[in-house]
């Protein structure tokens, strides 16, 4: 008999309880990324306050007890009583999901935190949260806690009223909270992740000082980083290009205002073959671009073609250069501020407002024309157009090379692709492709795989470094052509994620220097010409074990030196130890058990957390600037896999 379904069966989640019941709906995940999302919501509120002209300083502190605080010198949150809800403004901000001062333009002209749920979600998912407000000569305080009452957790409930606790000659707000371990487990705040985002915000908000303090280092002084950039987006471009050879020393700065948006942009060209456009809307990264990027590119192309003809650099008999020609070597930061933002897609990283495209294009045409019309910029224009003309000359060769890479007869005749061991499944959502270093390991992987859903593509040698060669040269490389053909997506502007034949693309290489180099080369190629493959979460790095430990038929595998020491301590001595030098030393059964079986393997998912930092890293490590690479390695190198994968082993087993 079916269970009755009546009104009494409906569960009503009051206040913040809905957030705790379904945290993923509000912060995406309860892992490390979701944990940091709580902080971003609080920081974004402070940034919005300062970006609208109220204050100039923010300090974020990671405290020893696991809590984090953010203080700004803005106006201070409202402390008076809300006319309808009959509680203080502070209580409204932290307990009402859809409440805030950003739904109308009276208080905030532009805002990154448009959802009205940020501060209250941080409160709902914390063990406790405290607020201090300096305003009107007084200091106010209020505390919220999430406590269990009769088996039910009451989320973010006030435990003290908003009360005056002192006097103050300044203004501003301080929020400190401790993320609830009942939600986030053992996840902790990462200093470098926070530093990257705060640096980005400092670039995008000229003159604002942002300080990051880490008090968690036992027995040591706090680690402090300070960010302030009076050059704003121009400094941002200089930072990204710091290891590249520039065609002209100073970025071209553009600023303008239209009916729907305000715009800032900085443009610089380098000798690189790839392009980097970092775009933002109200300080929010738009990694998938959108209407503002489209308008920017079309405006840039129009201006440079017009100036090229005016200066007789582009001859009358020649066709106009294409937008793709002007992209080669381009580094640009585009930041717009607007109301009523409409994002496209599930990830909310693509701007959809149609009215923004023509407006941005118009601003770029007007302001860039003015900036480049000066006499001292003629050499700059000449350098840009000649760079684009060089790109145009290779365009046809590149087109032919791409056609060659897609041509069925050339692929079937490839000795590389002839070694592809295809799976029998025709379901792309299930299928996996292992790109394996070397014929020997490839042969073992073919024997050990599950033939139904796992394909193996062994690499005969190292693919070309995509950072150092033009695409037409890269596409002559047998390994690269085979990878493109196997994935089925095409590359660059022809890339189509819907045509991807495999849900997981797994790089499987030896745990040594050569293996690391092959990983880097493949990831560089994916980043430059198949970036969406990474941003949509399809690229992984396999984790082969370093040690096999065997005693009386009992076998354990250790994936790092630290993992080995931990297992030795756990299981005692008397084990025979085998240190694997490469994948080829494993039997098919061992490779399956340790590296390929979804139930027992470790995979590292490749993500792009910060586009500017990823760009700088790729250029530094894979580009032509040897001195910059040496300096980076000396400062950052850690040749022990303990730290690199410490958060993987023993925690994220199987499909992670």
Query: What pLDDT, in 10s, does the model give residues 206-218?
Result: 999 999 999 998 8
Report whether 176 contacts 213 (CB < 8 A): no
Q: What is the pLDDT of residue 348?
A: 67
Query: What pLDDT, in 10s, does the model give residues 380-427?
Result: 999 999 999 988 887 776 666 556 545 433 444 444 455 889 999 999
Which position has the higher pLDDT, 159 or 29? 159
Distance in angstroms (rounded) separating the CA atoms of residues 43 and 59 = 9
Which residue is catalytic, options 514, 561, 609, 643? 514
Report whether 115 contacts 285 (CB < 8 A): no
Q: What is the pLDDT of residue 304?
A: 95
Distance in angstroms (rounded) separating the CA atoms of residues 62 and 429 = 40
Residue 146: pLDDT over 60: yes
Distance in angstroms (rounded) separating the CA atoms of residues 194 and 58 = 13
Q: What are the phi and psi torsion angles at 152 (to 5°)?
A: -120, 135
Tokens encoding 325: 């020609």
Q: What is the pLDDT of residue 530?
A: 92
Active site residue 561: no
Query: What pLDDT, in 10s, does the model give residues 518-576?
Result: 888 999 999 999 999 998 899 999 988 888 888 888 888 888 888 888 888 888 878 88
The Cα diameter of the chain in Å comes to 87
Report whether 273 contacts 241 (CB < 8 A): no
Distance of CA 281 to the CA centre of its chain: 16
**Which residues, at least 6 apart from 25, have a Cβ–Cβ distance to it below 8 Å?**
19
Q: Mean of the pLDDT values across residues 96-104?
A: 57
Q: Mean of the pLDDT values across residues 629-633?
A: 69
Residue 283: pLDDT over 70: yes
CA distances from 264 to 233, 234, 333, 366, 423 (A): 7, 9, 8, 13, 50
- pLDDT-based confidence at residue 646 (cuts at 50, 70, 90): very low
Active site residue 9: no
Domains and CATH numbers, the chain: 17-227 (3.30.565.10), 233-399 (3.30.230.10), 414-546+558-563+574-644 (3.40.50.670)
Which position has the higher pLDDT, 118 or 347? 118
- pLDDT-based confidence at residue 365 (cuts at 50, 70, 90): very high
Query: What pLDDT, in 10s, does the model give residues 307-347?
Result: 999 989 999 888 899 999 999 999 999 999 998 888 886 55
Q: What is the value of pTM for the model shown?
A: 0.77
Q: What is the pLDDT of residue 127?
A: 95
Which residue is catalytic, options 318, 512, 561, 643? 512
Which position has the higher pLDDT, 322 or 2? 322
Q: What is the pLDDT of residue 240?
A: 94
Q: What is the pLDDT of residue 266?
A: 97
Residue 503: pLDDT over 90: yes
Active site residue 180: no
Q: What is the pLDDT of residue 413?
A: 45
DSSP 8-state code for residue 319: P
Which residue is catalytic, options 510, 563, 593, 613? 510
Average pLDDT across the chain, whole number = 84
Which residue is catalytic, options 180, 437, 479, 563? 437
Q: What is the pLDDT of residue 252?
A: 96
Distance in angstroms (rounded) separating the CA atoms of residues 50 and 198 = 14
- DSSP labels, 195-254: HHHHHHHHHHSTT-EEEEEE--STTSPPEEEEE--TTTHHHHHHHHTTTS-BSSSSPEEE
Q: Mean of the pLDDT values across residues 240-260?
A: 94
Active site residue 514: yes
Q: 543-566 b/e with 16+ CB inside 10 Å = b? A: bbbbbbbeeeeeebbbbbebbbee
Q: Mean of the pLDDT values across residues 27-56?
A: 89
Three-state DSSP class for 168? coil
β-pair type (576-579, 343-344): unpaired
Of 383, 400, 360, 401, whose CA–CA distance to 277 is shortest? Answer: 360
Percentage of the chain with pLDDT > 90?
48
Q: What is the pLDDT of residue 202?
A: 97
Which position has the higher pLDDT, 13 or 67? 67
Distance of CA 492 to the CA centre of its chain: 19
Q: What is the pLDDT of residue 100?
A: 53
């Amino acid at each position: 008999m079916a269970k009755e379904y009546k009104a009494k069966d409906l569960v009503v989640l009051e206040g913040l309880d809905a957030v705790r019941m379904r945290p993923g709906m509000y912060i995406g995940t309860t892992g490390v990324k979701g944990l940091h999302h709580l902080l971003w919501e609080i920081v974004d509120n402070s940034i919005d306050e300062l970006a609208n002209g109220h204050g100039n300083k923010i300090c974020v502190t990671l405290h020893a007890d696991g809590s984090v605080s953010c203080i700004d010198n803005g106006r201070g949150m409202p402390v008076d009583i809300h006319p309808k809800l009959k509680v203080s403004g502070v209580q409204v901000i932290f307990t009402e999901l859809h409440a805030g001062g950003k739904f109308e333009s009276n208080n905030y002209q532009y805002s990154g935190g448009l959802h009205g749920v940020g501060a209250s979600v941080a409160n709902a998912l914390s063990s406790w949260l405290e607020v201090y407000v300096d305003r009107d000569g007084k200091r106010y305080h209020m505390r919220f806690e999430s406590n269990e009452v009769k088996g039910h957790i009451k989320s973010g409930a006030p435990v003290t009223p908003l009360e005056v606790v002192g006097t103050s000659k300044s203004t501003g707000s301080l929020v400190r909270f401790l993320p609830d371990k009942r939600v986030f487990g053992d996840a902790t705040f990462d200093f470098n992740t926070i530093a990257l985002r705060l640096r980005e915000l400092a670039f995008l908000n000229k003159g604002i000082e942002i300080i990051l303090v880490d008090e968690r280092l036992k027995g040591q002084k706090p680690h402090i980083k300070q960010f302030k950039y009076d050059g704003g987006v121009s400094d941002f471009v200089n930072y990204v290009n710091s290891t590249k050879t520039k065609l002209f020393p100073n970025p071209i700065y553009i600023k303008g205002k239209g009916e729907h948006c305000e715009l800032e942009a900085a443009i610089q060209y380098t000798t690189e073959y790839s392009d980097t456009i970092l775009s933002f809307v109200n300080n929010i990264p738009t990694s998938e671009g959108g209407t503002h990027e489209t308008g920017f590119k079309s405006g840039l192309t129009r201006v440079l073609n017009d100036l090229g003809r005016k200066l007789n650099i582009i001859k009358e008999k020649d066709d106009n250069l294409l937008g793709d020609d002007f992209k080669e070597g381009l580094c640009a930061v585009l930041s717009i501020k607007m109301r009523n933002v409409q994002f496209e897609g599930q990830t909310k990283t693509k701007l959809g407002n149609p009215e923004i495209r023509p407006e941005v294009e118009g601003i770029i045409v007007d302001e860039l024309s003015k900036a480049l019309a000066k006499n001292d910029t003629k050499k700059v224009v000449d350098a840009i157009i000649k760079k684009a003309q060089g790109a145009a000359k290779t365009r046809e060769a590149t087109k032919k090379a791409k056609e060659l890479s897609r041509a069925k007869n050339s692929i079937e005749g490839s000795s590389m692709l002839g070694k592809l061991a295809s799976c029998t499944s025709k379901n792309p959502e299930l299928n996996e492709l292992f790109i394996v270093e070397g014929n020997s390991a490839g042969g073992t992987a073919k024997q050990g795989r599950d033939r139904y859903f796992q394909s193996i593509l062994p690499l005969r040698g190292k693919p070309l470094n995509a950072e150092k060669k033009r695409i037409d040269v890269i596409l002559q490389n047998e390994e690269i052509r085979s990878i493109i053909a196997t994935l089925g997506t095409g590359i660059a502007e022809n890339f189509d994620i819907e045509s991807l034949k495999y849900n997981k693309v797994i790089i499987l290489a030896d745990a040594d220097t050569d293996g690391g180099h092959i990983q880097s080369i493949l990831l560089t190629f994916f980043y430059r010409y198949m970036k969406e493959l990474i941003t949509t979460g399809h690229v992984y790095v396999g984790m082969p074990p370093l040690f096999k430990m065997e005693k009386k038929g009992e076998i354990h595998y250790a994936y790092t030196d630290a993992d080995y020491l931990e297992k030795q301590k756990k299981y005692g001595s008397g084990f025979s130890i085998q240190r694997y030098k490469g994948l080829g030393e494993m039997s098919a059964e061992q490779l399956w058990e340790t590296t390929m079986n979804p139930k027992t393997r470790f995979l590292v998912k490749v993500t792009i957390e910060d586009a500017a930092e990823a760009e700088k890293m790729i250029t530094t490590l894979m580009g032509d600037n040897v001195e910059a690479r040496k300096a980076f390695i000396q400062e950052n190198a850690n040749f022990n896999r303990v730290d690199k994968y410490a958060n993987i082993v023993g925690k994220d087993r199987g499909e992670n």
